[in-house]
């Protein structure tokens, strides 16, 4: 069905009809008024993070299904709340839709959005639908809450703190390369079947990344308060540099300690890329990088899906990667922003 | 200077350098981390409203200067907070910029943004800069606060309440028509000078609309609590229908009571349009439409720049415009969403 059949107001009503009731006590007023009204619980403060996803820049619909895009858009904003140690609670969503999108396309996109709302247990409190001349635009803002004084900033890392990383890195980037390769292959032949067998994990990491609320809950349950934390989004190297810069410290990370999945290694090998470089510079990981005082080492050792990848040094010692052979290389950001950064 | 010279991170740093310090006690952490951290004052709740502005849909840079666009983008989100009776406090801004934009263009856009931040006394707490294939995209989210129970919803209007409107309507729409006409004229000749003399007011209303925080302050100072309020954005007719729908009431408004500036009338006459229709259906007014109990009439009479334009009826009586001659017409939304609405 053409969106013009419903109109912008009608499409908005259509989307809202398919949504669950709001779930949080803190959501006082959702989609029905000029603005949404939320009430942080007593003793909590409010976090806010916005993300803009543009067709052709942040996603390519030739190989990225709309449903997964809806999910990933929510993850992208929610991950920033979690990266501050906060619990995500509400989301606003604005869509710009060009004429090639039908109501059914929006329904598919919203399936992914709703999937993510349910997974992260958050309420959609703002929804704006607009036409667009230029493809699909998605703007999301996530609100979250954090107990007073419990926010995890980038700036608290201290010398001798341990550097910890959740999950593994580089998988989403290899998933993207696989999608791009199969897209190129697809462009060439008529009866083409994409070769995704044995690559399900890296595809899933690219297409349906899940922000690590589970790790935050584990940290809280164990009583571990990181001295600094950052959401790994642009790439481990880039985000490590951000954390070190904000904290005024240096760092050493061990090449062999960087967690990289075997599918990531396999795909990197196939493409003639160094798995370490892929792990350091791949984007869209949505993992957490955090630092803890040395005294909490045993507690972190007992955590699932967390690896100690290095330690914090004084700023003068720089931010360096220690190779398996023992040599050290200064870490330079080469993630998402590689092209721009080369000029810096 | 090409934006690629600075890169996305560098451009972000460049923008931040030119910003004032944050001003609100409630802004605990602004642009330096994964998410911003804000703390509503005790006894207050949080409002949030997002707006997406797309080139070619919401603005045309051929005739709309970037500086004013920056200002208007902020107003568009802030107006929704004020429309709920809230005090705007923080803003997040995301920009998508295609290659035709230079660093200097961003500086000009930010001049308008900063102008608006200062006028509304709000902090920029989120900033994201991205490249774009498709012109300029601006996503803004405003946060505001309101004392518990003092939010002004659309849904509280009661039978016999008075309908009140701030300022005047239709001026921004006539300003837009003037800009479009002069753009068309400009397209035709080489040594063309736009004819804006005597049209300064309608141009200003289109290009630099100011959300009515002043009226909200007056209402609060006078102790008037409207039963319902809405930000007039899509057009008086459309927003009146929204308010009536949300409140489950009808309304009568008097044609001769609708406040329309003489420049609006002049421009409407020149274009062969009915000033009443322009006032009813023009968008981008950013005025406030609200209802008050009859008993507060004298207090509202004493307010500056507020007009009583009608009254609330039972839902069965419909939403109708009473002409100067006494005849009644059912009001149909014909604002921004006219084309889509015709199909409904």
pLDDT 10s digits, A320-340: 999 988 999 999 876 434 333
pLDDT confidence of residue B234:
92
| Cα(B125)–Cα(B109) distance, integer angstroms | 17
Positive or negative, the CA dihedral B276, B280, B285, B287 is positive
Q: Which pairing describes strands B249-254 and B306-314: parallel, antiparallel, or unpaired?
A: antiparallel
In the structure, what pLDDT confidence band is assigned to residue B192 with cuts at 50, 70 and 90? Answer: low
Which of B127, B137, B129 has its CA nearest to residue B59? B137
- Interatomic CA distance for residues B122 and B126, integer angstroms: 12
User: Looking at residues B73-91, what average pLDDT do you find?
Assistant: 97
Asked whether A119 and A15 are in contact (CB, 8 A), the reply is no
Does the CB of A265 have a partner CB in chain B at under 8 Å?
no
pLDDT at B190: 61
Element (H, E) at A206: helix A200-207
B45 touches chain A (CB under 8 A): yes
Adjacent-strand bridge partners of B131: B97
Pairwise pLDDT comparison (A257 vs A39), residue with the higher score: A257
Contacts of the segment B216-224: beta carbons below 8 A, 24+ positions apart: B216/B82, B216/B85, B216/B87, B216/B288, B218/B303, B218/B304, B218/B306, B219/B303, B222/B299, B222/B302, B222/B303, B223/B299, B224/B292, B224/B296, B224/B299, B224/B300, B224/B303
Question: Average pLDDT for residues B90-95, to the nearest whole number?
Answer: 96
Question: pLDDT digits over B196-233, tens only?
Answer: 788 999 999 999 999 999 999 999 999 999 999 999 99
In terms of pLDDT, which residue wins out, B64 or A42? B64
CB contact under 8 A, A57 and B96: yes
Which of B33, B53, B59, B213 to probe the A interface (max A CBs under 10 A)?
Answer: B33
Chain B partners within 8 Å of A211 (Cβ): none
pLDDT at A343 over 60: no
Q: How far is CA A135 from the centre of its chain?
A: 23
Mean pLDDT in residue range A80-92: 96
pLDDT digits (tens, 9 = 90+) for A171-217: 999 999 999 988 876 666 666 666 778 899 999 999 999 999 999 99
What would the pLDDT profile of B33-51 be if each residue is shown by its tens digit?
889 999 878 889 999 999 9
Average pLDDT of B268-272? 96
With beta carbons less than 8 A apart as the criterion, state whether B271 and B202 touch.
Answer: no
Q: How confident is the model at residue B340 (pLDDT cuts 50, 70, 90)?
A: very low
Q: For A51-73, how does the pLDDT look when each residue is reduced to its tens digit (9 = 90+)?
A: 999 999 999 998 899 999 999 99
Q: What is the pLDDT of residue B189?
A: 62
Can you give the pLDDT at residue A189? 61
Which residues 131-190 on chain A approach chain B with CB closer than 8 angstroms? 131-135, 137, 139, 141-144, 146, 148, 151, 153-155
Provide the shortest C-alpha distance from residue A233 to chain B (in Å): 10
Give the residue carrying structure tokens 């959300």: B211
pLDDT at A243: 97
Q: How far is CA A261 from CA A267, A276, B95, in A?
A: 10, 11, 34
Residues of chain B above pLDDT 90, percent: 76
Establish if B246 touches chain A: CB-CB under 8 angstroms: yes
Query: Do B39 and A29 count as a contact with CB atoms less than 8 A apart?
Result: no
Tokens encoding A225: 């308060």
Check residue B6 and give its pLDDT.
87
For residues B241-261, one letter each, b for 16 or more C-beta atoms within 10 angstroms of the residue's C-beta and e for the rest, the string is bbbbebbebbbbbebeebbbb
The predicted structure's pLDDT at residue A188: 60
Across the interface, of B38, B148, B154, the residue whose CB is closest to A33 is B154
* Out of B35, B83, B146, closest to residue A86 by CB: B35
B57 contacts A96? CB cut-off 8 A:
yes
Chain B residue nearest residue A136, CA to CA:
B134
**Bridge partners, A128 (sequence order):** A94
Q: How confident is residue A32, by pLDDT bands cut at 50, 70 and 90?
A: confident
Quote the ipTM score: 0.90
The encoded tokens of residue A188 equal: 């060439």
Q: How far apart are CA B138 and CA B66, in angstroms?
A: 11
| B289-to-A18, B229, B242 alpha-carbon distances in Å | 30, 6, 11
Q: For A97-132, how does the pLDDT look when each residue is reduced to its tens digit (9 = 90+)?
A: 999 999 999 999 999 999 999 999 999 999 999 999
What is the bridge-based pairing of β-strands B123-131 and B87-97? parallel
- B324 CB neighbour count, 10 Å cutoff: 10
Q: Please, which pLDDT band fits residue A252 given cuts at 50, 70 and 90?
A: very high
CA distance B184 to chain A (A): 20
Top pLDDT among B272 and B40 is at B272
Handedness of CA B265, B267, B271, B276 (dihedral sign): negative
Contact A130/B8, CB-based, under 8 Å? Answer: no
Q: Give the model's pLDDT for residue B187.
A: 65
Handedness of CA A270, A271, A277, A278 (dihedral sign): negative
Determine, for residues A38 and B48 on separate chains, whether the beta-carbon distance falls below 8 Å. Answer: yes
Q: How far is CA A197 from the centre of its chain?
A: 25
Phi, psi (5° rounding) for residue A15? -65, -45
Predicted confidence band of residue B316 (pLDDT cuts 50, 70, 90): very high
- Other CB atoms within 10 Å distance of the CB of residue A181: 16
pLDDT recorded at residue A187: 64
Q: How far is the C-alpha of A225 from the C-alpha of A296, rounded, in Å?
A: 9
Banded pLDDT at B334 (limits 50, 70, 90)? low
Cα distance between residue B155 and residue A33, in whole Å = 8
Cross-chain residue pair A344–B40, CB shorter than 8 Å: no
> Rounded to the nearest 5 degrees, what angle is found at the Cα of A88, between the Cα atoms of A82 and A93?
115
């Amino acid at each position: 069905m053409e969106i013009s059949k419903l109109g912008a107001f009608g499409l908005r009503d259509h989307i809202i009809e398919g949504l669950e009731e709001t779930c949080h006590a803190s959501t006082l007023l959702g989609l029905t008024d000029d603005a949404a009204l939320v009430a942080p619980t007593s003793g909590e403060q409010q976090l806010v993070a916005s993300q803009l996803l543009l067709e052709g820049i942040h996603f390519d619909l030739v190989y990225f299904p709309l449903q997964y895009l809806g999910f990933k858009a929510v993850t992208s904003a929610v991950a920033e709340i979690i990266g501050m140690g906060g619990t995500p609670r509400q989301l606003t969503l604005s869509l710009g839709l060009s004429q090639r999108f039908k109501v059914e396309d929006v329904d598919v996109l919203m399936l992914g959005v709703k999937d993510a709302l349910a997974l992260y247990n958050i309420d959609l409190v703002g929804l704006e639908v607009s036409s667009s001349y230029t493809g699909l635009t998605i703007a999301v803002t996530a609100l979250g809450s954090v107990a007073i004084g419990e926010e995890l900033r980038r700036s608290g890392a201290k010398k001798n703190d341990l550097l910890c990383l959740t999950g593994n890195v580089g998988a989403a980037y290899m998933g993207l390369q696989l999608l791009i390769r199969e897209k190129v292959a697809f462009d060439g032949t008529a009866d083409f079947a994409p070769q995704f067998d044995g690559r399900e994990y890296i595809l899933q990491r690219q297409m349906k990344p899940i922000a690590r609320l589970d790790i935050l809950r584990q940290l809280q349950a164990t009583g571990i308060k990181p001295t600094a934390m950052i959401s790994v989004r642009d790439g481990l190297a880039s985000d490590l540099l951000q954390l070190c810069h904000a904290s005024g410290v240096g760092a050493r990370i061990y090449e062999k300690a960087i967690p990289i999945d075997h599918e990531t290694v396999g795909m990197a090998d196939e493409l003639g890329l160094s798995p370490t470089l892929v792990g350091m510079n791949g984007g869209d990981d949505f993992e957490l990088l955090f630092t803890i005082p040395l005294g909490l080492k045993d507690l972190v050792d007992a955590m699932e899906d967390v690896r100690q990848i290095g330690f914090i040094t004084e700023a003068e010692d720089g931010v360096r990667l220690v190779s398996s052979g023992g040599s050290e290389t200064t870490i330079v950001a080469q993630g998402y922003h590689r092209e721009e950064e080369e000029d810096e």
